[in-house]
Amino acid sequence: APKAAPVNKVSQYACQRRTTTENYNKIFTDAFEVLAENYEFNDIEGRCLAFRRAASVLKSLPSAVQCVEATQDLPCLGEHTKAVMKEILQYGRSFEVEKILSDLRCQTLKLFTSVFGVGPKTAEKWYRRGLRSFSDVLAEPSIHLNRMQQSGFLHYGDISRAVSKAEAQAVGNIIDEAVHVITPNAILALTGGFRRGKDFGHDVDFIVTTPELGQEESLLIDVIDYLKKQGLLLFTDHQASTFDISKLPSHKFEAMDHFAKCFLILRLESSQVEGGLQRSEGDSRNWRAVRVDLVSPPMDRYAFTQLGWTGSRMFERDLRRFARLERQMLLDNHALYDKTKKEFLTATTEKDIFDHLGLEYIEPWQRNA
Ligand code: CTP
Ligand code: MN
Ligand code: MN
Ligand code: MN
């Protein structure tokens, strides 16, 4: 007899799932991430995305998968992903994953891309030149490192170590002071992984803006200046706004948004952190370097920016895919456009955007897809 339709079918869209930081299927999702990254290094985008989607679905489950049969009603799990899961269930590990982890090219690309400012293309270029270690790269006279990469190597130990919640809080205090000295009624909001409730992050992300439209234009520059004078800035890359209100939302997911933003490395003193800094053994310094991102949209774009920068990346990707495929709408970090009505839809809160899309509201801590 035909089975009744499952009551709570898991959606193929991450924006219709609630995904907390609690991951009961880490053993599988860690394996999928290795495979996805390997496909990324080899420029096989489709398979890379397939494994990231599969991992995202498993992250949303309320318990660990005990057998492959239990996954039959789940979306986004293909033959390959199920075969990997079977291996892990049977042997406790995946041989395909282990083969990748022991592969020199993959190891080297992973090492190189772990440097701030080094993407897969640069990593590949260095690998092709026969470089295998940081000392190889730094000793190669023909290699010119840009400013970001120089800082990446200089502060490698610090910025490759996770940022704790207490450290993120301390960074927030520093930014809070700077922003409000410059503009007393400025708005500062935490975004990114820490807003999703993560305990650790690779950086700390903030939105800074002003209630008055246009007043935000000089804010970032002034904040950078203030931090510099305090001796707290170890690196800054400021990108001026190229935002154009008449532009339709972008179709391309990976395209950067057009708001003014800066990528910083901040000097954080131990005395500023409640409970002090988490230091590695043998490190007696009383400070550490921390990566910080600031984005500064005009106030009427605040909700779109908050929704776009809170992440996770898979959640963002699926919000846009859902908007396009299920609602004939275009969404990005700047705006939401209804292609049927041929009009922009405004929003002052994230909830407004979910409403426009006909989606149940998903709290930030449920967006860890
Ligand atoms: N983002 C963006 N445009 C950028 C940089 C980031 O839209 N130029 C978005 C990303 O899509 C992501 C969010 O901002 O959803 C935060 O990015 P990031 O700091 O890289 O990741 P987190 O989710 O915060 O995780 P982590 O702890 O690793 O920092
Ligand atoms: Mn990198
Ligand atoms: Mn982040
Ligand atoms: Mn960031």
Residues making up the annotated binding site for Mg(2+) are: 203, 205, 293
Ligand 1 touching residue 332 (CB < 6 A): no
Contact assessment for residue 344 and residue 336, using Cβ atoms and an 8 Å cutoff: yes
- For residue 263, pLDDT over 70 is answered with yes
Ligand 1 touching residue 304 (CB < 6 A): no
Contact assessment for residue 211 and residue 299, using Cβ atoms and an 8 Å cutoff: yes
Contact assessment for residue 330 and residue 360, using Cβ atoms and an 8 Å cutoff: no
* Statement to judge: residues 34 and 136 lie in one domain: no
pLDDT at 4: 63
For residue 7, is it within any domain? no
Ligand 1 touching residue 202 (CB < 6 A): yes
Residue 280: pLDDT band (50, 70, 90) is: confident
Query: Mutate which of 203, 206, 294 to test ligand 1's pocket (most atoms within 8 Å of Cβ)?
Result: 203
Residue 69 CA to residue 81 CA, distance in Å, equals 13
Ligand 1 touching residue 201 (CB < 6 A): yes
CATH of the domain at 126: 1.10.150.20
Domain tally, the chain: 4
Ligand 1 touching residue 297 (CB < 6 A): no
CB-based neighbours (< 5 A) of ligand 4, an ion: 203, 205, 293
Closest CA to 230 of 287, 296, 278: 287
Q: Which domain holds residue 126?
A: 108-147
Residue 118 CA to residue 16 CA, distance in Å, equals 34
State the distance from the centre of ligand 2 to the C-alpha of 79, rounded, in angstroms.
31
The one-character DSSP state at 249 is P
* Statement to judge: residues 96 and 113 lie in one domain: no
* Statement to judge: residues 79 and 28 lie in one domain: yes
Min mean pLDDT across 110-114, 215-219, 299-303 is at: 215-219
pLDDT at 156: 98
CATH of the domain at 21: 1.10.150.110
DSSP helix, strand, coil percent of the chain (3-state; round to 5):
45, 15, 40
Contact assessment for residue 291 and residue 192, using Cβ atoms and an 8 Å cutoff: no
CA-nearest residue for atom 11, ligand 1, is: 313
* Statement to judge: residues 211 and 273 lie in one domain: yes
State the distance from the centre of ligand 4 to the C-alpha of 201, rounded, in angstroms.
9
* Statement to judge: residues 81 and 112 lie in one domain: no
Ligand 1 touching residue 313 (CB < 6 A): yes
- For residue 352, pLDDT over 70 is answered with yes
* Statement to judge: residues 189 and 273 lie in one domain: yes
Ligand 1 touching residue 311 (CB < 6 A): yes
Residue 71 CA to residue 80 CA, distance in Å, equals 13
325-335 per-residue burial string, b: 16 or more CB within 10 A, e: under 16: eebebbbbbbb
For residue 130, is it within any domain? yes
* Statement to judge: residues 180 and 282 lie in one domain: yes
Biggest CA-to-CA distance, the chain: 74
- For residue 7, pLDDT over 80 is answered with no
CA-nearest residue for atom 16, ligand 1, is: 192
- Condensed to tens digits (0 to 9), the pLDDT of residues 218-231 reads 999 999 999 999 99
* Mean pLDDT computed over 73-94: 98
CA-nearest residue for atom 13, ligand 1, is: 309
Question: Strands 200-201 and 233-239, how do they pair?
Answer: unpaired
pTM listed for this prediction: 0.95
pLDDT at 8: 79
Closest CA to 330 of 367, 297, 356, 364: 356
* Statement to judge: residues 171 and 299 lie in one domain: yes
* Mean pLDDT computed over 113-129: 98
User: Can you name the residues that pair with 110 across neighbouring β-strands?
Assistant: none
CA-nearest residue for atom 9, ligand 1, is: 309
- Which one-letter amino acid corresponds to residue 247? K
State the distance from the centre of ligand 2 to the C-alpha of 120, rounded, in angstroms.
8
ipTM of the complex: 0.94
Q: What 3-state DSSP class applies to 237?
A: strand
Q: Which of 205, 257, 318, 332 is catalytic?
A: 205
Residue 9 CA to residue 160 CA, distance in Å, equals 39
Query: Looking at ligand 1, which atom is closest to the CA of residue 200?
Result: 27
State the distance from the centre of ligand 1 to the C-alpha of 168, rounded, in angstroms.
15
- For residue 6, pLDDT over 60 is answered with no
For residue 9, is it within any domain? no
Query: Which of 256, 287, 306 corresponds to the end of one domain?
Result: 306
Q: What is the mean pLDDT of the chain?
A: 96
Contacts (Cβ under 8 Å, ≥6 apart) of 302: 187, 207, 209, 348
CA-nearest residue for atom 15, ligand 1, is: 311
